[in-house]
Structures are given as structure tokens and as C-alpha cells.
Structure 1
Amino acid sequence: MGFGRRIGDRLRVSGSGARRSLIVLVVLAVLAASGSAVALTGPIIVHRLGLSQTAETVLPSSPLPMLQPLQGDAPRPTAAGVAAVLDGAAEALPGKFTGIVVDPATGQTIWQHTPEVTLTPGSTGKLLTAAAALLTFNPTDRFVTRVVQGPQPGTVVLVGGGDPTLTTLPPGQESVYPDAPRMSDLAAAVKKAVPGPITQVLVDTSRYQGPTMAEGWDPADVAAGFITPIEPLMVDGGRINPKLTEGPRVPDPAMAAGRALAQDLGVDSSDVAEGTAAAGAKSVAAVRSAPVAVLVEQMLRDSDNVLAEVFSREIAIARHGTPTFTGGVQETAAALAQAGFDPTGAVMHDGSGLSTEDLVPARLLGQLLSAAAAPAIGPDDTEFLRPIITGLPVAGADGTLAGRFGRTGVSGPGRGVVRAKTGTLTAVASLAGVVSDTDGRLLVFVLMSNGVSPATMRPKLDAMAAQLSRCGCR
């Protein structure tokens, strides 16, 4: 789909639970500094790279002005105007760099730098997974964790349904996930439904297949808190401490979930084992995740690798593919292509962008963001891609941008104005999102760097995004 086309074609995405009829047009919400759709959460610290993102706590001496509504008839920047602002900065960047700026109102590319270059995206690769998930599922769909009767009296089977947000925290305490279902509620329902004592808990992970760690992942990332082996059953995203976004994770998330249920049921941990629910086994109890749209926002805002990988597997299942790393990325690309996007050049090995082997063209990220940010033009327009925009971290305010775009310095003007997905790996830094310029025109930008330390590149990319926010570029 070229940027020159208005995005209004009827689209069909196959698979159970998939949308029957889609129009790729999204209403962009009025951006305000208060960010009503954005929860202020703690920053993510990339310990292994020595990059602190601790947010500043000094209050401004005077109230900050609220962002004004975007103007539908705002002047459009010219290619020459944007080039005058970004060309010099792009040429001065060390390493490999590619970038693009798009006007989502028209779909036209305004600026690009080495567009033929395909780079490792880091977590901006999650934009592919987010778009495919929103194209595949209804925004109100939820993932279900079930308990069914086991093969023997006193045995129950905990069946993974693809929800990593199930929490072990008691009522009144919140995990890192919004509206997370609770293991205590599941256990209470099981006790009520099962007559007699429960003596064994079996754990069923048959929903997913293949390796649980992707090509290009570092096993040390489990203890570092970036990932856990991908299974359809886990509690708190595999975190050891449910309240720490970036805390260490367990190497056996499904069994850890089984032990948590066993504890709530009064079953000894030695009586937890792997097993498979019988076909047609009677359902005992179930709990449901927050809606898909909410989980997509959470995935983008906090760059949650586990949520992204689960979405990748669930996309494959919904589209009748194979629920493996390979099947997930194949069906993600197929969903995007079927919707009219061009995934040519994208080579993904996972759904999170954590793999160092991933490659994505800036053009594709620009297409996805442009579709999500395109203004509505008629009463039939749907908003199913809007969570991509509302889930983007706000510069200097929340998520993975909480500690960036400081109040002083060259990136300061972008504070509260830039909304973008970050991407950080060793020698990888990327930033892709939206920004409103001084004329009130919304712009999509994608900036990707490989081969240089993120500590060096992230401030430079932030400054480029901020430059877009303070130019009319005409």
C-alpha cells in the first residue's frame, strides 16, 4: 500500500475470532498534556547498557500549557522544509541510520533518509505485532485461563489460554498489568465447584508448540528481567516480584503458575506436574484478561516483551497457523499484507523485537503508524488501530520515555509533544511515533540506528524528533 493512497479499502482477515470487515482508518484522539488515555507508570531501566531512564522530579516553576487540539486544516510541511531541519542531523549520525517522516492525513512521505536500508528495530518491532493483533482480534476480546477436571478424582488441570497477566497478588494490590485477573479468584472458584479435597494440579501448556526461546535471544535476559520462556500459561508475566516491571523472571513460568494455584488450593508443590486436559473435560472455573486493546497499549507503553510474544502466538492460532516463533511472525506478516501493508524487507524472528536477528524497513513502520494516526473521514470509520497511538509512551511523562526528553537541552521542546515507541538493544536505538508541529499538523516519524551505542544515539534521535515539534517546516 503506497503512502499516496487513502486508507479506506475494505479488508478481510481470516481466522476464528477475526474481523469480518475492516476499514483501515482511525480517529486520532485530541492530544492533551494530561493524557487521559495514558497511565503514568514507572520507567524501564536498561541495566545491562548502563542507561538510566529515571524521570526528573523537579516541578516546573510555572504551569505548563496544555496541548491544543490538532487542526485538520493545519498547513502541511514541505519536503524542503523538513529536509532543512533533519538532513544535517541525519548526515552527522555515526553508524547506520534510516529514517522517514510521513503526513498521516494524506499518507504522503515528506522526508526520508537511506530508505533502502533495513535495520534491526529493537522494540519498535512491536508495532508490527500490535497492528497484526488489532487486525486479527476484536478490541474487547479477552484471553481465558481455565481449570478443568483432571483424569483422576481430586485432580484438576490448569489450562493455559495465552494470558500472561494472571496475578498472584491478593485483592487490593495491583500488579504491573491493568485489570489483571487474580489467581486467588480462580482458586476460590475451583474450591466452590469441586466437591471433596483437591490433591493434584496438572499444568497444560499444549496450546503452544516449539522452542520457548527465540533465535537471537540471550538466556541471561531471563534473570535480567527482559523475557521469560514463552508458554501459554504464566503468572505476572513470569516475574518473580509482580510489582516490578523490570525485575528478574522465572525460567519455568507455566510450572510456577501451577505451584501458585496449588498453594491457594492447599495442595503440596510436589503434587504439581505437567499434563494435558482431556478433550471435552468439564470446565471447573475460568478467569479472563483485560481486553485486547488495553493489553496492546500496555505492551507498547512499557515495551513488554512477554505480551508481544504471546500476541504473536495468539495471532498464529487465530489465523490457523502454527503457534511457534516462526508461525507467529509468518501470520503477523500475512495479516499485515492482507490488510494492504507491504511487509517486504521485514525479517522477524520473534514478536517483540528482542532478537538481534530481526530486520525491518523504516517504510513499514511508517505505514503502520500512518494508518493508526490517519484522521477519520466518514461515519463508517472504525478505530481498531487507535490503541497503537494511545499506547505510545509520552516524551518525558510515562512508559519507556519517562526519563527522556528532559526539560532542558535540545530535546526539551519534544517533552509532552512526542509520542513514540522506543527500541534499544546493544548497538541498536530506534524511535518511531507521532509529533505535532508548531502549526498543529500531526506527523509520523521513524528513526532507526544500528552499530552505535544507544547511550550515544538515543539523545540524538530524541533531538531530531523534538526538532520536528518546533518547526512548521514550510
Structure 2
Amino acid sequence: MLSDRRTPDADDTVSLAAGPVITRPDAEVTVVLPFLRGATASSPPAWLPWSGWSRRNRLLLAALLATALAGAVALIAGWPPAALERLVGAAPTPTPSVGPEPAPGPVLAALAQPPAAAPTAAGVNAALAPVLASTGLGTAVGVSVVDVATGAELYDAAGDRAYIPASTTKLVTAATVLATRGPSYRLRTTAVAGVRPGEVVLVGGGDPTLAAGAVGAYAGAARLDRLAAQVSRSLGGVRPSRVVLDVSLFAGEQQGPGWDAGIVAGGHVAPITALMTDGGRLRPRQGSPAARHTAPDLAAGRRFAQLIGAPPTVVTGTAPAPPVPAPGNPVPAPGSPFAAPAPGTLLGAVASPPMQRLVDIMLADSDNVLAEALARQVALARDQPASYAGASSAMDAVLTELGLPADESGLVDGSGLSRSNALTPTLLTDLVALIASGRTPALSGLFNGLPVAGWSGTLEDRFRAPSGAGRAGLGVVRAKTGTLSGVSAMAGVVTTADGRLLAFSLLANDTTLPPYEAPAALDAVAAALARCGCR
């Protein structure tokens, strides 16, 4: 086959007969001119029309024809390969020289080896006891370690005692929302026609990742400006008279029980509402902590009104949007030739990234706003009010459905910001082991977002000290961390030196370590498991 750009070889020559050739180097195509064979011969055959011409005239004719054909070749050489094939036929495909197939080697050879010897409780105790004694985490410390392959409990130090879990709570939120909504579920923000002509109702769908515009806080987020463009098209360019907000999807208080005073003002979370943009941030590209709107729903509504050309008259706390009407004739808008949509008519909709992606972001970044929004999705999936109390009740119910002891859970929020939360280390370890076992496929994707030691998320800058006690955990620990003043926590999985996968959790309350020392102490414990065969 002819090629536009490659090293010429024998297959680049279209040979029709022997004779003079014309070559266009840049096209790498050679064409033979067989009908001029006699033009340079000393004794041309008598049957040729120019056999009686003088040699000079024959050479002149050859030159003229060669020039014309060179132009034709230049044109043809620029044709696509398929067109050239139709003109002259495809060049023969060379038959590659292939030797005998080598004998295939083992695939995933490591799996063909004898499995690593099972760790023992005595081995884990020997690895952890000296580390825990020297960490300075305090006396209120609970630790649990389980062998994922067998489910055997390998270590339990006050593991059945309830502790403040901080952000390890997000493991429960992640597992329960994936179990109820599934990994492909999306959160929809919509706009519908209001009860009065010219009124647009912006309906919050509980998506805190919704971006106000092209620059957003979350990659791949739905965009408010695109929703506004849909609405403007649906209204035929008629300027709306008013924007009304429907934030009724979420119920109850906007701040969680047991949150530290000033936690919202400090930028670690926003007031939780069913409508907000960029996690309530004032500046989308700012991480956490970040300055947040005190009324995120109102801020989003005003931005939406600006985008659709409506007056900044936005009402919050209204009744839910009218239901989508049955097909019928729309009601004309007074003084406008445009026929206003019937109340409840859908004017536009945008959808969040899939639930799996939202869970990834929540875990990797320990995003508190997103965690509270997803906890409310668990409540909605179980027909509970989308409030702090409803979400907590629903998450306990789902833990029971997963075969886990819900009586070891006493959550009041989905983010772990509350000091009223309570979880046992054994519950967290059992949950992590269940996820890692693969027995519940809907939960398997949870590990996608878990931070990796020294590599990603909240563990990106940890386990890296060249001479630190946590160095052995680099790259082999995947875990969710948790931090409040006086509280340090970590729960996840670790691969031991023998290649055994262990689930672990460590909850320390009432620690007096400085903030920069507590994480290193937790890392040392996880690294001790990574170093050992624990046999």
C-alpha cells in the first residue's frame, strides 16, 4: 500500500512495465513510463507511431510527455492511499517472516507462588507494642488489625470502645452512599417554570460541586452558566421577571451538632444547603480551608439570576417547585407574545459527576461539604429526612444491611467534624476488610479515592521523611486520616513485607501531641505493620 510519509521500499513502486521513470521525492512515489520505451532506444520498433521520426524529435516528444506526466504524478501523489489503490491497484502486502511462537510465560507469576504465610496475633503484637508505647499518642488509644484474606483478628487494643473518629467517619459515609445510590448515580440541579408567568424556580439537587462558571473548584462539575443557557433557550430569549429558589431537598439545621465554634468561619466547611456552587467557596480555586459564603444558596441564586438576565430578586425558603405538568397548552404571559411554560415545566438540567467520582474527591481531599451532601443522599435513598439526624439514622441502617454492627456506630454527621460522633476501631476495621474482600462489588471502588502514603490526597506529604519511622509505609499504606484538636485517627489497608493485606484502624483521643507530631506517630504505627511479616 502507498504511504504519504514513510521510508521508501520496494512496495512504494507501482510498476507497469520497464522503461523511463519519474520520481517525486517528497511523495516517495515512483511511476514507470512504459509507452516511452522507444523514445531513447537506438532502434525503435517499426510499429511505434514515431518510428520514422528523427532521434531529436523523439527525444523532444519524450521530454514533453515526461513533463506532463510529472505534473500528473505530482497530483496523484497527493491523493489519499485509497484513491491510488483504486487507480492502479493495491501494492502487494509483504508476508512477514515469523518464527515459531515462543512458549508463553506465566501471567501474574506472583499468584502462582505459594501464598504468603499468614500473620499471627503474636507477630502483630511484637511489631506494634513497642511502637505504640513510644508514640506519645496518650492513653485513650484504640487499635484494631484484621487479616483481609481470612478475616482473623490479629490485634485488638480497646477496639470495642467508642472514640471520636474525626474524618475517618467519611469511610462510613462513602460505603453507605455507594451501597444505596450506586457508583453511577448523579445529582441533578434543575430549573422549572414558576407558578407565575416569567418566574423561574432554581431547584437545588444537593450537588455542592456545581460550578458557577468555567472555573470551578471540582473537575468535571456541572455548571450553573450552562444551566442558565438552557433556561434562556427554553424561554425563547424572554427575560424572566423573578428567580425563586427551591432548597427544600435538605431539611433541618445547616450546621452540624457538636461542631467546634468557628468551624464554618474558619473555612473548613460551609453551611449545608441543597443549592450551592463550588462547595460554597468565595473563590473556586482556593482549597480548604477557604472563605465560604454565609448563605451559599442565596449566592448561587443571585449568580443564576444574573446569568439569565433576571432582576436580582431571589427568594429562599419557599415551598417546593410546582410539579411537572401534564401535557397541555401553556399559559400566555401577559404583555408578551411568548407563550409562558406551564408551572413546573422543566427549563433546564445539569448533572454532577458520577457518585463514584464524588466519593473519590471526598476521600482524597477529606471534603467536609461533599461528605455532608452525600450522607443526605443515604437518607433520601432510605426515605429519611435529608438532615443530620436522618442521614445518621439511614447510615446506621445501611451498616446493618452490610452485616456490620451498627450498635458500634453513634454518628451525628457525615463528615466527622462533630465531637459528638462515636465509632469503634473494630467497626472501622471490619468495614475496611469488607470493602477490600470484594464480597460487595458496589463498594469496591471506594479504594480509588483512598489516599496513598507519600503519593496522593491527605497522605501526599506523609511517610516521606528519609529517616522517619513511617518510611516503610511509603506507597503500601492506603488510608483515611482524621484530625481534630486532641484527636488523631487513621483507618485503611497496608501491605506487609510478605505481601499480606491487612486492614487496620487507629483512633487516638485526648492526645497532647503538637499538630505536626500526631500524624508522624500514626504513620509510625502503620509503617510497623508494613515492615513486618508478623508471623
**TM beyond 0.5:** yes
User: C-alpha offsets along residues 273-308 of structure 1, whole Å, 9 cap, x if unaligned?
Assistant: 553312331111000011111111111111111111
Is the aligned partner of 1:310 residue 2:382? no
Residue 163 (structure 1) shift: 0.8
Identify the match of residue 346 of structure 1 among 404, 409, 417.
Answer: 409
Select the structure that is richer in helix.
2
Instruction: Decide whether aligned partners of structure 1 residues 271 and 229 sit closer, same or farther in structure 2, where only a CA change above 3 A counts.
Output: closer
Q: What is the aligned partner in structure 2 of residue 419 from structure 1?
A: 478
Residue 268 (structure 1) shift: 3.3
Residue 152 (structure 1) shift: 1.6
| 8 Å CA contact 2:464, 2:471 repeated in 1 | yes
Identify the match of residue 459 of structure 2 among 393, 401, 408.
Answer: 401
Cα distance in 1 between the residues matched to 2:314 and 2:410: 43
Q: Spell out the pairing of 1:287-298 with structure 2 (5 A cutoff).
A: 287-298=350-361
Residue 312 (structure 1) shift: 1.3
Q: What is the aligned partner in structure 2 of residue 262 from structure 1?
A: 305
Cα distance in 1 between the residues matched to 2:318 and 2:406: 38
Q: Spell out the pairing of 1:444-455 with structure 2 (5 A cutoff).
A: 444-452=503-511, 453=513, 454-455=515-516
Cα distance in 2 between the residues matched to 1:245 and 1:268: 32
Instruction: Decide whether aligned partners of structure 1 residues 176 and 395 sit closer, same or farther in structure 2, where only a CA change above 3 A counts.
Output: farther
Identify the match of residue 157 of structure 1 among 183, 188, 201.
Answer: 201
| 8 Å CA contact 1:201, 1:258 repeated in 2 | yes
State the TM-score, normalizing by the size of structure 1.
0.81
Residue 345 (structure 1) shift: 2.7
Identify the match of residue 183 of structure 2 among 122, 125, 139.
Answer: 139
| 8 Å CA contact 1:259, 1:272 repeated in 2 | no
Q: Spell out the pairing of 1:55-134 with structure 2 (5 A cutoff).
A: 73-92=115-134, 93=136, 94-134=138-178
Gaps of 5+ in 2: 1-108, 325-343
Q: What is the aligned partner in structure 1 of residue 292 from structure 2?
A: 249
Residue 393 (structure 1) shift: 0.6
Is the aligned partner of 1:472 residue 2:533? yes
| 8 Å CA contact 2:379, 2:386 repeated in 1 | yes
User: C-alpha offsets along residues 62-100 of structure 1, whole Å, 9 cap, x if unaligned?
Assistant: xxxxxx978892222111111001012223442310011
* Secondary structure in structure 2 of the residue aligned to 1:156: strand
User: C-alpha offsets along residues 108-129 of structure 1, whole Å, 9 cap, x if unaligned?
Assistant: 1111112232110000011111
Instruction: Decide whether aligned partners of structure 1 residues 110 and 320 sit closer, same or farther in structure 2, where only a CA change above 3 A counts.
Output: same
* Secondary structure in structure 1 of the residue aligned to 2:263: helix
Structure of higher CA gyration radius: 2
User: C-alpha offsets along residues 181-231 of structure 1, whole Å, 9 cap, x if unaligned?
Assistant: 111110111111113111211111111111111111135222222111111
Cα distance in 1 between the residues matched to 2:213 and 2:189: 16
Letter matched to residue 411 of structure 2: M
Instruction: Kindly report the root-mean-square deviation, in angstroms, between the aligned alpha carbons of the 2 structures.
Output: 1.8
Is the aligned partner of 1:239 residue 2:281? yes
Q: What is the aligned partner in structure 2 of residue 60 from structure 1?
A: none
Is the aligned partner of 1:192 residue 2:192? no
| 8 Å CA contact 1:222, 1:250 repeated in 2 | no
Residue 271 (structure 1) shift: 4.6
| 8 Å CA contact 2:239, 2:310 repeated in 1 | no
Instruction: Decide whether aligned partners of structure 1 residues 249 and 121 sit closer, same or farther in structure 2, where only a CA change above 3 A counts.
Output: same
* Secondary structure in structure 2 of the residue aligned to 1:101: strand
* Secondary structure in structure 2 of the residue aligned to 1:105: coil
| 8 Å CA contact 1:157, 1:204 repeated in 2 | yes
Q: What is the aligned partner in structure 1 of residue 218 from structure 2?
A: 177
Gaps of 5+ in 1: 1-67
* Secondary structure in structure 2 of the residue aligned to 1:278: coil
Is the aligned partner of 1:388 residue 2:418? no
| 8 Å CA contact 1:169, 1:242 repeated in 2 | no
Cα distance in 1 between the residues matched to 2:425 and 2:296: 34
